[in-house]
Chain A
Amino acid sequence: MVELAAKQGARPTDPSVQASPLAIRGLTVSYNQKPAVFSVDMTVQAGSMTAIIGPNGAGKSTLLKAALGIVRPVSGQVTVFGRPLEKQRARIAYVPQRASVDWDFPTRVIDVVLMGLSRELGLLGRVRMWHMARAMDCLHRVGMHEFADRQIGQLSGGQQQRVFLARALAQEADLYLLDEPFAGVDAATEKAIIGVLKDLKQAGKTVVAVHHDLATVTDYFDHVFLINTRKIAEGPVAEAFTAETLQATYGGRLATAQIDQIAGALG
Chain B
Amino acid sequence: MSGEEFVPLSLTPLLIGVCAAVACALPGNFLLLRRQALIGDAISHVVLPGIVVAFLLTGVISTWPMMLGAAGAAAVAVILIEAIRRLGRIEPGAAMGVVFTTMFAAGVLLLEQTDTSSVHLDVEHALYGNLESLIWLDATGWASLLDPEALAGLPPELPRIAVTLLAVGLFIWLFWRPLKISTFDEGFARTIGIRTGALGLALVLVAAISAVAAFDAVGSIIVIAMFICPPAAARMMTNRLESQIGWSVLFAVLSAVIGYVLAGYGPLWLGWADAVSAAGMIATVSGVILALAAAFGPCRARAGAPGTG
Contacts and interface: CB of A to CB of B under 8 A. Distances in A.
Contacts of A94: 187-188, 191
Interface string A104-147: 11111001100100110101100000000000000000000000
A106 B185 contact: no
Contacts of B187: 65, 68, 70, 94, 96, 100
Nearest to B238: A106
Contact of A70 (B178, B190, B240, B241): B190
Interface residues of A, number: 32
B192 interface: yes
Contacts of A108: 239-240
Interface string B253-274: 0000000000000000000000
Interface residues of B, number: 28
B181 interface: yes
Contacts of A167: 188
A104 B174 contact: no
A23 to B, nearest CB: 17
Nearest to A150: B239
A154 B188 contact: no
Interface stretch (B54-62, B144-152, B300-308): B300-308
Nearest to A112: B184
B304 A103 contact: yes
Interface of B: 33, 174-175, 177-178, 180-181, 183-185, 187-188, 190-193, 235, 238-241, 244, 299, 302-306
10 contacts: A94-B191, A101-B184, A102-B184, A103-B304, A105-B33, A108-B240, A119-B193, A123-B177, A153-B305, A154-B303
Interface of A: 65, 68-70, 86, 89, 92-94, 96, 100-108, 111-112, 115, 118-119, 121, 123-124, 151, 153-154, 167, 171
